[in-house]
Amino acid sequence: MLNKLSAEFLGTFVLVFGGCGSAVLAAAFPELGIGFAGVALAFGLTVLTMAYAVGHISGGHFNPAITIGLLAGGRFPAKEVVPYIVAQVLGGIAAAAVLYLIASGKAGFDATASGFASNGYGEHSPGGFSLTSAIVIEFVLSAVFLIVIHGATDKFAAAGFAPLAIGLALTLIHLISIPVTNTSVNPARSTAVALFQGTWAIQQLWVFWLVPILGGIVGGLIYRCLLEKKSHA
């Protein structure tokens, strides 16, 4: 179990540091910024690489919504859900702390004013989208993400390609939803940076716990009940 929790801590650390780090440090860099597409790719690459690196140890969740969604899909034991989520949140916070230390080395840096890659809606949505828009897109994309994860890791799926499919799915999810919520689909990622933003991000954090988890549960149930191929003896 220690190996599993260490893998989840490390994987979530890399996801937050790589994904949110690209948003904070590189997205709007003068003249050479990577923009939304670059940030989306960074998030996808973190999951792809860490799933290959430690997925064989812990399953490579790095996200409470995935852990709970896999529970709903019948792929994960209930007794390990809380320890996994604790490890994921702590890994994310550790990454955000390191990122904050790096970012604060630039003159004029202010995590509260900049948003520090936090998720938000209304006036804190990158595109000014409403709470309703945020709820709908986070729910739908979290459900789709869990369907992809269940399908890619199914025993009938092509072996060895799951991290690639999952990483590309997360890239696609970010390409769609960064303008709406700055893309969560991951409560650990949202919590990590919200703690350092310190004001509105914490107030809006409930959306980015509740909705991705509900979407993940629905995605897990859809795959389990409607899509999963049943093996027969």
pLDDT over 60 (residue 103): yes
The proportion of the chain whose per-residue pLDDT surpasses 90, expressed as a percent, equals 93
Residue 64 lies in a domain: yes
Q: What's the pLDDT score for residue 65? A: 98
Mean pLDDT computed over 123-132: 97
9 part of a folded domain: yes
In-domain check, residue 37: yes
**Quick check: is 233 in a domain?**
no
Q: Is the pLDDT of residue 232 over 60?
A: no
- Residue 159: which pLDDT band, with cuts at 50, 70 and 90? confident
Query: Is residue 163 in some structural domain?
Result: yes
Domain assignment of residue 199, yes or no: yes
| 29 pLDDT higher than 80 | no
**Assigned token pair, 161:** 């390609």
115 within domain boundaries:
yes
pLDDT per residue over 193-203, tens digit each? 999 999 999 99
| Residue 143: domain span | 1-227
Rounded distance, CA 87 to CA 220, Å? 22
Domain of 202: which CATH number?
1.20.1080.10
| The pLDDT of residue 117 is above 50 | yes
Q: Is the pLDDT of residue 129 over 50?
A: yes
pLDDT at 30: 67
Residue 116 in tokens: 């520090």
How far is Cα of residue 38 from the mean position of the Cα atoms in its chain?
16
Residue 232 inside a domain? The answer is: no
* Cα→Cα distances 81→1, 26, 87, 110, Å: 12, 34, 10, 35
Cα–Cα–Cα angle for 55, 41, 110, rounded to 5 degrees: 105
Q: What is the DSSP letter of 157?
A: S
pLDDT of residue 233 exceeding 60: no
Among 37-46, 97-106, 152-161, 206-215, the range scoring the smallest mean pLDDT is 152-161
Domain count, the chain: 1
